[in-house]
């Protein structure tokens, strides 16, 4: 259960509410708690998801009162199925801060995720078919996969995947420009110019 942000009698923003051995997080409190957990060295989140190893919080983001004030001014905050992202504006960024974070629709965040942990030993977007001795290229869309054909080498399949990924990023930019999702204008600019190589190198 997530509660809307509110202040207590002293005028401070509340992170969570306890009653009858149960608790409920406020909207900002839930985001803030999850963010902090990702930044605990050798914590449960980093052990399960190594991509968070090395993540830190800015001094301002360590302060919940600052964080909730910042969040409530951000485009997309408070809309269901949006997530706080730290590295779309600055690829490879490891610090959650007021200058690096942005709220984005979950489907877009998942599309841009490289899925390094789950992709196996082959390059992103490539799946080997031993019965055919072929490499299949496949791209993850919102709720499905799109098959891009079979190729003789891993590199060929990966190149096809890269082209498809960049084309899909442009389609996302068009969807955002059309108002399908409410986002910060900076995100649209990033998607217009998004390339796989620049994404992977950082």
Q: What is the pLDDT of residues 100-131, one digit of tens each?
A: 999 999 999 888 775 544 456 889 899 999 99
Question: In the prediction, which pLDDT does 115 show?
Answer: 54
Query: Which element (helix H / strand E) includes 84?
Result: strand 82-85
Residue 75, CA distances (Å) to 23, 25, 131, 133 in order: 28, 21, 49, 48
Return the exposure string of 120-141: e unless at least 16 CB atoms fall within 10 Å of the residue's CB, then b.
Answer: eeebbbbbeeeeeebbbbbbbe
pLDDT of residue 26: 96
Walk me through the domains of the chain, giving residue ranges and CATH numbers. 1-73 (no CATH), 81-202 (3.30.730.10)
Q: What is the pTM of this model?
A: 0.84
How high is the pLDDT of residue 54? 94
Instruction: Give per-10-residue mean pLDDT for the chain (202 aa).
Output: 94 92 93 96 91 95 98 95 91 93 92 61 90 92 85 95 93 94 92 80 45
At residue 119, the pLDDT reads: 55
Q: Which residues contact 109 (CB under 8 A, 6 or more apart)?
A: 83, 85, 88
């Amino acid at each position: 259960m997530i509660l809307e942000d509110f202040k207590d009698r002293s005028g401070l923003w509340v992170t969570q509410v306890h009653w009858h051995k149960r608790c409920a997080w406020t909207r900002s409190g839930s985001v803030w708690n999850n963010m902090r957990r990702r930044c605990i060295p050798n914590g449960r989140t980093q052990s399960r998801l190594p991509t968070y190893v090395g993540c830190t919080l800015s001094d301002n983001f360590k302060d919940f009162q600052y964080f909730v004030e910042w969040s409530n001014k951000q485009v997309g905050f408070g809309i269901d199925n949006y997530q706080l992202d730290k590295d779309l504006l600055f690829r490879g960024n490891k610090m959650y801060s007021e200058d690096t974070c942005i709220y984005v629709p979950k489907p877009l965040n998942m599309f841009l995720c490289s899925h390094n942990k789950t992709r196996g030993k082959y390059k992103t977007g490539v799946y080997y078919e031993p019965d055919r001795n072929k490499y299949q290229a496949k791209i993850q869309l919102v709720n499905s996969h799109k098959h891009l054909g079979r190729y003789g080498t891993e590199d060929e399949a990966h190149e096809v995947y890269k082209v498809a990924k960049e084309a899909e990023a442009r389609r996302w930019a068009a969807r955002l420009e059309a108002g399908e999702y409410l986002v910060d204008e900076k995100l649209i600019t990033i998607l217009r110019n998004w390339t796989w190589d620049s994404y992977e190198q950082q």
